[in-house]
Amino acid sequence: MLSNQQRKYVKSLQLKKFRTQYGTFLVEGKKLIEELRMSDFEIEQIYSTENLQQINSVVSISEAEMKSISALSTPSPFLAVVKQKKNLVYQEKNNLTLVLDQIKDPGNLGTIIRTADWFGISQIICSHNCVDVYNPKVVQATMGSIFRVSVFYDELEEFFKKNKQIPVFAADLDGKNVLKTPIFQKKSFMLMGSESFGITKNLHQFITQKITIPSYGSAESLNVSVATGILCSIYRQQFT
Q: What are the chain's domains? A: 4-83 (3.30.1330.30), 96-238 (3.40.1280.10)
* Contacts with 203 (C-beta within 8 Å, 6 or more apart), sequence order: 101, 156, 157, 160, 170, 191
**pTM score, two decimals?**
0.94
Q: How far apart are CA 186 and CA 5, in angstroms?
A: 50
Contacts 24+ apart (CB under 8 A), 194-200: 194/101, 194/102, 194/103, 194/104, 194/224, 195/221, 195/223, 195/224, 197/102, 198/172, 199/101, 199/170, 199/172, 200/101, 200/102, 200/127, 200/156
pLDDT of the chain along its 240 residues, tens only?
A: 789 999 999 999 999 999 999 999 999 999 999 999 999 999 999 999 987 655 666 899 999 999 999 999 999 999 999 999 988 889 999 999 999 999 999 999 999 999 999 999 999 999 999 999 999 999 999 999 999 999 999 999 999 999 999 999 999 999 999 998 877 889 999 999 988 889 999 999 999 999 999 999 999 889 999 999 999 999 999 887
